[in-house]
Amino acid sequence: MLEQHNYVYKKEVDWSVLQQGISIPVTIQVIFQNTVNRFIPRGQSKDIFLVLEGKTYKANLVNQRFDERKYPNRKDILQIRYNPQSDIAEKLRSIFEVSYRYIIEHRNSANGNQRIFTKIPEEQKEHLAIYTTEYDDTYYLECITLEDKRVIKQTFMQEDEQEYEASINYISVDSTATIASVSQIVKERRLNRAIGENLKLLYNYQCQICGENVGDRYGVHVVEAHHIDPFVESLNNDANNQLIICPNHHRIVHRAAPEFERKKLIFIYNNGIEERLLLNRHL
């Protein structure tokens, strides 16, 4: 049942998550964008349910109003809102205790300045994954804590990047099935796969390098998700670390190991060839 959950957003845990809610820009969230407009028109709010660790919590979903004449290209921004005293806020503070304590200590060291913004260091960041479910008013939350990340790091340190990516792109091929029962790994894979699947939809199964939709004429999609910074080293499964490429380009990129220049979106190969991404909608 969980595999059917669609990914909506991976959110860095900050003060807002622990107190009052989450803003979701839906720019690249294909599945979410398709369903949300029929559920909640712009400028309106509705009660929703959040499922976390087997329990259901109440919250509010707001589709922010904005002036379309002023911002013609702007996509909807949704907010999941709750009270600082609500059960869900309390639950999140207890799960993300490390982040909560870090922010409180930082505020105290600034003489209790409530307005100060706390930037949590990269290596201490925790994340919240939000999935849509088969019900428009119900969202499934999954927490990735610092402790989870420690387990994930230990597991993937010795893994091969291509084997790892194969396990994400092809559900049936899982060379590390023996460790798949570890809950942290299951969570990480689910999120990584969901982010990749969402991006495949965003590109309509076309390769970002050559634009081909390989397999289409045979009625299948074989495009793959690739990590710009290898996941086994970076542990970064954010959308901005993933590319959608055809199997041929995927093999070439791993075999030739070109440098990827993020600013220009160019692959630079050792033999001097430079190739710019043909398609880009998310970097």
Task: Provide the binding-site residues for Zn ion, judged by CB under 5 A.
Answer: 165, 207, 209-210, 226, 246, 249
Nearer to Zn ion (CB atom), residue 193 or residue 226: 226
CB 118 → Zn ion: shortest distance, Å?
Answer: 34
* CB nearer to Zn ion: pick between 90 and 159: 159
Distance CA 100, CA 54 (A): 22
Q: Minimum CB separation from Zn ion for residue 279, in Å?
A: 10
Confirm if 230 and 161 have CB atoms less than 8 A apart. yes
Q: Which two tokens stand for residue 224?
A: 């793959």
* Residues composing the chain: 283
Q: Name residue 61's beta-bridge partners.
A: 46, 80
Nearest to 130 by CA among 82, 190, 183, 83: 190
148 vs 165 by CB, closer to Zn ion = 165
State in angstroms the smallest separation of the CB of 264 from Zn ion: 18
Residue nearer to Zn ion on the CB measure, 202 or 246: 246
Pair of tokens at residue 85: 């005293």
Number of helical (H) and strand (E) elements in the chain, helices listed first: 9, 12
Distance in Å, CB of 245 to Zn ion, minimum: 5
Which residue, 2 or 257, has its beta carbon nearer to Zn ion?
A: 257
Shortest distance (Å) from residue 53 CB to Zn ion: 32
> Smallest distance from the beta carbon of 218 to Zn ion, in angstroms?
16
- Say if strands 266-268 and 274-276 run parallel, antiparallel, or are unpaired: antiparallel
φ, ψ (nearest 5 deg) of residue 32: -65, -45
CA dihedral 243, 141, 235, 189 (to 10 degrees): -70
CB nearer to Zn ion: pick between 92 and 209 = 209
Q: Which is nearer to Zn ion, 139 or 203 (CB)?
A: 203
Question: How far apart are alpha carbons 43 and 64 in whole angstroms?
Answer: 5
Nearer to Zn ion, 36 or 243 (CB): 243
In the complex, the smallest distance separating the C-beta of residue 157 from Zn ion, rounded to whole angstroms, is 18
Q: What does the alpha-carbon distance between residue 111 and residue 105 come to, in Å, rounded to a whole number?
A: 10
CA distance 56 to 50: 6
- Are 208 and 243 in contact by the 8 Å Cβ rule? The answer is yes
Q: What amino acid is encoded at 88 in this protein?
A: I
* Shortest reach from residue 54's CB to Zn ion, in Å: 35
